[in-house]
Amino acid sequence: MAETIKVSNTAHSGVAVITVERNHGDNNIVIIPGANLEISIGDVKEAKRKGLLGEKVMACQFEANPEATLYAMEQAKALGLITILDPSPAPIPGSPFLPLLRRFLVASTIVCPNETEAAVLTGIPAPDFEGKCPLEIAETALPWLLHILKAGVLYPLITLGAKGVVGLLPKSEGESTRATDVTLFQSDMVGSSKAIFHIRCPSHTGIVDTTGAGDCFAGSLAFYMARYPGLTIVEKLRRSVWIASRSVLKHGTQISFCGRHELPQELFDDAEFTWPK
- Active site residues per annotation: 215
- How far is it between the farthest Cα atoms of the chain? 56
Cβ atoms of 246 and 197 closer than 8 Å: no
Strand partners, 31: 16
Contact 207, 27 (CB under 8 A): no
Check: CB of residue 149 under 8 Å from CB of residue 158.
no
- Reduced to 3 DSSP states, what percent helix, strand and coil does the chain have, rounded to the nearest 5? 40, 15, 45
DSSP 254: G
Task: Give the distance, in angstroms, between the CA of residue 200 and the centroid of all CA atoms in the same chain.
Answer: 16
β partners of residue 184? 197
Residue among 264, 261, 162 at smallest CA distance from 213? 162
Q: Which sign does the torsion angle of CA 226, 228, 233, 234 carry?
A: negative
CA dihedral over 195, 140, 97, 63, signed as positive or negative? negative
* Pairwise CA distance, residues 164 & 114, whole Å: 10
Query: CB neighbours (10 Å) of residue 241?
Result: 22
Distance in angstroms (rounded) separating the CA atoms of residues 45 and 35: 18
Q: Which of 148, 152, 188 is nearest to 168 (CA)?
A: 148
